[in-house]
A and B are shown apart, each in its own frame.
Chain A
Amino acid sequence: MNQKLVNILLVEDDEVDVMNVKRAFSKNNIMNPLFVAGNGIEALEMLENQIIPLPKIIILDINMPKMNGIEFLKIMREKEKLKNISVFVMTTSNEDTDKINAYNLNVAGYILKPLSFEKFLTSVATLKNFWQLCEM
């Protein structure tokens, strides 16, 4: 059963947000292997040099230093090996332009980072259903 779980890569620069995702995963009994990259450049390095097994799902922050989420998405979608990965954007930005930019690059979902952990738990629980479909 375990080997069927898909890998997930989280691209996020804020330590607390990383903890937030980890905590929400364990609360929702999500056992998928989770890898973390601190920004777009780091994530590309990990993916291209196969430092981590190729993930099926990427959770992506937008506002990050060095290379932000949208820049990362653009580069990723041009690469044959990476372009089919499902990407969920997770950000504080409720700006229409950020959402449109993300959807133009074919993202599977746009998660607004809510203030309360309880609300975040609910979002993650919804995603879990989708991820389980990916595992079939």
Chain B
Amino acid sequence: MEKSQQDCQEELAALKKEFDDFVYIVSHDIKSPMRAIANIATWIEEDLSNGLTQDVTSNFELLKNRVNRLENMMNGLLELSRVERAELEFYCVNIPKMMSSCFDLYRNNHVEFTLDTTIVTENFITLGAKFQKVILGLLDNAVRFNDKEQIKIRVTILESDDEFTIEITDNGPGIPEEVVPKIFSIFYTVNSKDVVNTTGAGLAISCKILKLVGGKLKYTAGISNGSIFTLNWPKNIILKN
């Protein structure tokens, strides 16, 4: 017997929910044994404090650092599983104001921001927390992975009848062509996680947010190195359910 389209849709929705619940429960419940490992390592280190060689001390540091990384990854997974459930409030966002408050966060990092915009609609009602999360995530990547002394980030905002197009260009190292298809996968990092301390969850979370709102996120290589992330954010968002 062939399934009707509605049956398939219902089944898909149920599967999606089951998957989100699974990720949530797993990442949540794994936290307590993980915490136990971190705590016990600290206690052993404290109890042995007088007789520790340099080697043992640095191994303890490594152990705690890796548990920390595990926690960040778990938090990333949790966040990913909650994209469709948390922070779903619509409120009024003033785009230029929001941008400048995002830029302010990096005031101490010697970052040179340029904002290029011709938008007419400055205020619009949207999923504000999600919108800011995506923008901040992209700015954070542009700063964090930048290898230049003077970091330069240019943000261009265009407006059409039904969406905003936001382009974030940086003067960083760019992303090697062969790994570009992988950058939106969870936990993928271009360099070893030892080089730049990051979990690799940010772009996966941003992508899921854009899927939720019906927008798009894409990467293109900059003309002279650097990365360009282009984000399309719809003016009207219709949430299913």
CA distance A36 to B34 in the complex (A): 22
Q: Which residue of A lies closest to B41 (CB)?
A: A117
Asked if B36 contacts A16 (CB within 8 A), the reply is yes
Of the residues B35, B38, B40, B86, contact of A92 by C-beta under 8 Å: B35
B197 → chain A, closest Cβ, in Å? 15
Tell me which residues across on chain A come within 8 A of B31, comparing CB atoms: 92
Within 8 A of A (CB), among B60-93: 64, 67-68, 71, 86
CA distance A113 to B39 in the complex (A): 11
Q: Which residue of B lies closest to A116 (CB)?
A: B38
Tell me which residues across on chain A come within 8 A of B39, comparing CB atoms: 16, 19-20, 117, 120
B96 → chain A, closest Cβ, in Å? 30
Residue-wise, chain A 74-101 has the 8 Å CB interface mask toward B (1 for contact) of: 0000000000000000001100100000
CA distance A113 to B32 in the complex (A): 9
Asked if B32 contacts A115 (CB within 8 A), the reply is no
Residue-wise, chain B 28-65 has the 8 Å CB interface mask toward A (1 for contact) of: 10011011101110110000000000000000000010
Residue-wise, chain B 182-194 has the 8 Å CB interface mask toward A (1 for contact) of: 0000000000000
Asked if A115 contacts B68 (CB within 8 A), the reply is yes
Asked if A115 contacts B43 (CB within 8 A), the reply is no
Q: Which residue of B lies closest to A96 (CB)?
A: B86
CA distance A6 to B56 in the complex (A): 41
Asked if A23 contacts B43 (CB within 8 A), the reply is yes
A114 → chain B, closest Cβ, in Å? 8
Q: Which residue of B lies closest to A20 (CB)?
A: B39
> Which B positions have Cβ atoms within 8 angstroms of A?
28, 31-32, 34-36, 38-40, 42-43, 64, 67-68, 71, 86
CA distance A56 to B39 in the complex (A): 28
CA distance A113 to B33 in the complex (A): 12
Known: A63-B32, A92-B31. 8 other contacts (CB 8 A): A16-B40, A17-B32, A19-B39, A113-B32, A115-B38, A115-B67, A116-B64, A117-B43
Categorize the interface residue count of chain A: 10 to 19
Asked if A14 contacts B42 (CB within 8 A), the reply is no
* A–B Cβ pairs within 8 angstroms, 24 of them: A14-B32, A14-B36, A16-B36, A16-B39, A17-B36, A19-B43, A20-B39, A63-B32, A92-B31, A96-B86, A113-B32, A113-B35, A114-B35, A115-B34, A115-B35, A115-B38, A115-B67, A115-B68, A115-B71, A116-B38, A116-B68, A117-B38, A117-B42, A117-B43
Tell me which residues across on chain B come within 8 A of A92, comparing CB atoms: 28, 31-32, 35
CA distance A120 to B38 in the complex (A): 12
B31 → chain A, closest Cβ, in Å? 5
Most chain B CB within 10 A, of A19, A20, A92, A115, is at A115
Q: Which residue of A lies closest to B37 (CB)?
A: A16
Tell me which residues across on chain A come within 8 A of B71, comparing CB atoms: 115
A65 → chain B, closest Cβ, in Å? 12
CA distance A116 to B34 in the complex (A): 10
Residue-wise, chain A 11-43 has the 8 Å CB interface mask toward B (1 for contact) of: 000101101100100000000000000000000
Tell me which residues across on chain B come within 8 A of A114, comparing CB atoms: 35
CA distance A63 to B43 in the complex (A): 24
A24 → chain B, closest Cβ, in Å? 10
CA distance A20 to B86 in the complex (A): 31
CA distance A96 to B85 in the complex (A): 11
Of the residues B28, B40, B43, contact of A93 by C-beta under 8 Å: B28
CA distance A20 to B39 in the complex (A): 7
Q: Which residue of A lies closest to B86 (CB)?
A: A96
